[in-house]
């Protein structure tokens, strides 16, 4: 009995532990734009222009972007680098060794990052959406940037021109669990320099980018869900027919 009580207590702490592991910052719910082709196309543009310089997406080919409504000509003219071809994988020239030397760790491949970041704290899309919107200026860091979701992250704020420059504001308060100690509490951001986009425009752009990464992690997810509905309908009809057939059979036997 005591063992069960201890087990329940440990399991109850798991969500809090995961949240603390992610920096202790609450995740924001990411808008789902995966069914909006225009949003996915904008997300693809942002991904190529701002993410694909350091991160690869080695499980995705450029020509797969035709699934979100882009023509081969549009892909060639707007999303391909000079030496790339439409059928190529979304890889980069930077090696893992160079990435580790420049950033302290090799930038991860983003092919399935939207699924890989899922945890009991929330889906991976929420993690990415919050992460991309909580960078702030920190001169103590080698890159000059820090992040609320991923403290002391090695990645600089690649989208700062769009969001602008912000600083994080903290206050020291007494620890409610131990009055003899103080805690460094985050109270908000202060906009130091405006970006090219307003706050609402930037949040919408990040929702588009995260939706694209979610789609990229499983391009057939929409078809899978549609097929799942038809399978459930079929199973429902089959169960009714089987039930009535069974009743009819045993009626004759009796």
Cα 197 from chain centroid (whole Å): 21
Mark out the alpha helices in the chain (DSSP H runs). 2-21, 37-46, 72-78, 96-103, 113-116, 124-132, 160-163, 199-217, 221-253
Nearest Cα neighbor of 99 from 142, 143, 55 is: 55
Alpha carbon separation from 1 to 4, 7, 9, 44 (Å, rounded): 5, 10, 13, 54
The answer to whether residues 87 and 62 touch, using CB atoms and an 8 Å cutoff, is: yes
Half-sphere exposure of 228 (CA within 13 A, CB side): 6
pLDDT at residue 254, rounded to an integer: 59
Tokens 């600089």 belong to which residue? Answer: 156
What three-state secondary structure class fits 190? strand
Positions of the chain with pLDDT lower than 70, given as ranges: 1-23, 82, 253-254
pLDDT at residue 92, rounded to an integer: 86
The answer to whether residues 26 and 125 touch, using CB atoms and an 8 Å cutoff, is: no
pLDDT at residue 182, rounded to an integer: 83
Give the separation between CA 77 and CA 141, rounded to whole angstroms. 37
Q: pTM of the entire structure?
A: 0.78
pLDDT at residue 106, rounded to an integer: 85
What three-state secondary structure class fits 93? coil
Give the separation between CA 64 and CA 170, rounded to whole angstroms. 44
What three-state secondary structure class fits 23? coil
pLDDT at residue 97, rounded to an integer: 83
pLDDT at residue 103, rounded to an integer: 78
pLDDT at residue 225, rounded to an integer: 73
pLDDT at residue 16, rounded to an integer: 34
- The first and second tokens of residue 182, run together, are 């103080």
Q: How many helices (H) and strands (E) would you count in the chain?
A: 9, 6
Q: Angle at Cα 212 formed by Cα 216 and Cα 125, nearest 5°?
A: 90
pLDDT at residue 14, rounded to an integer: 37
Which residues have C-beta within 8 Å of that of residue 167, sequence separation ≥ 6? 136, 137, 189, 190, 192
pLDDT at residue 23, rounded to an integer: 53
């Amino acid at each position: 009995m005591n063992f069960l009580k201890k087990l329940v207590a440990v399991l109850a702490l798991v969500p809090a532990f995961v949240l603390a592991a992610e920096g202790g910052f609450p995740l924001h719910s990411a808008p789902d734009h995966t069914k909006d082709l225009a949003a996915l196309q904008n997300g693809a543009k942002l991904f190529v222009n701002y993410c694909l310089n350091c991160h690869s997406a080695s499980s995705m080919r450029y020509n797969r972007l035709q699934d979100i409504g882009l023509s081969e000509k549009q892909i060639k003219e707007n999303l391909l680098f000079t030496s790339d071809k439409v059928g190529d994988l979304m890889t980069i020239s930077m090696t893992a060794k160079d990435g580790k030397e420049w950033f302290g760790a090799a930038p991860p491949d983003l092919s399935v990052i939207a699924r890989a970041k899922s945890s009991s704290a929330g889906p991976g899309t929420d993690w990415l959406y919050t992460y991309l919107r909580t960078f702030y200026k920190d001169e103590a860091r080698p890159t000059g940037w820090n992040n609320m979701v991923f403290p002391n992250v090695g990645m600089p704020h690649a989208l700062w021109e769009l969001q602008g420059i912000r600083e994080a504001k903290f206050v020291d308060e007494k620890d409610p669990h131990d009055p003899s100690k103080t805690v460094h509490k985050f109270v908000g951001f202060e906009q130091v320099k405006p970006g090219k986009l307003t706050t609402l425009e930037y949040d919408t752009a990040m929702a588009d980018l995260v939706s694209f990464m979610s789609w990229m992690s499983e391009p057939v997810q929409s078809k899978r869900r549609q097929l799942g509905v038809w399978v459930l309908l079929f199973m429902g009809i089959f169960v009714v027919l089987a039930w009535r057939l069974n009743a009819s059979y045993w009626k004759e036997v009796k």
